[in-house]
Amino acid sequence: MIYIGIGANLGDREKTLQEATGMLNTNPEIAVIAASAVYETAPIGVVDQPYFLNAVLQVYTSLSARNLLNCLLAIERKFGRLRETRWGPRTLDLDILFYGDTVINRPGLQVPHPHLHERAFVLIPLCDLKPDLKHPVLGQSIQFLTESLGTDLPVQKIEGLNLIIKNKTRRT
């Protein structure tokens, strides 16, 4: 299964996450199967910026990892994403976290995402979906990696926000 991280900290964050999920789900080559809860999280790197909303989507796609990345980047651009400052504020961030158990190390595409094991804002939503998922490089479960971060994490669950768009036929 493929997992995509989704986040935003500029503009109407909730609406952005819902609309971006909808855009993914209306692509005939992508089906959003499940979505984690949404979490509000402190920024990392550049800390003088608004808090993020983050979630993880479980998807099925017939696209290659590179073509999926191109699709994600196109959606980011539609939401006005500018890549000016590393770890800076963003209208939308979409990252391939896992593409099955495939390991990819190519310019512009690293899967699994190279920092996911260090980031509570990715690991906690992944635990919502698949806590026993094994990291194909580290060999540890998402649950274990999450617990390794400790208990004092800057992540707060947002109740009542659902990213799944109803009435989409699932593909398997």
Task: Kindly list the catalytic residues.
Answer: 81, 90, 93, 95
For residue 65, give Cα distances in angstroms to 3, 89, 106, 108. Answer: 11, 25, 11, 11
Spatial separation of the C-alpha atoms in residues 170 and 109, rounded to whole Å: 27
Q: Where are the alpha helices (DSSP H) in 6-58?
A: 13-26
Whether 76 and 92 have beta carbons less than 8 Å apart is answered as yes
- Let me know how long the chain is: 172
Give 72's DSSP letter.
Answer: H
**Helix-helix angle 13-26:65-78, to 10 degrees:** 140
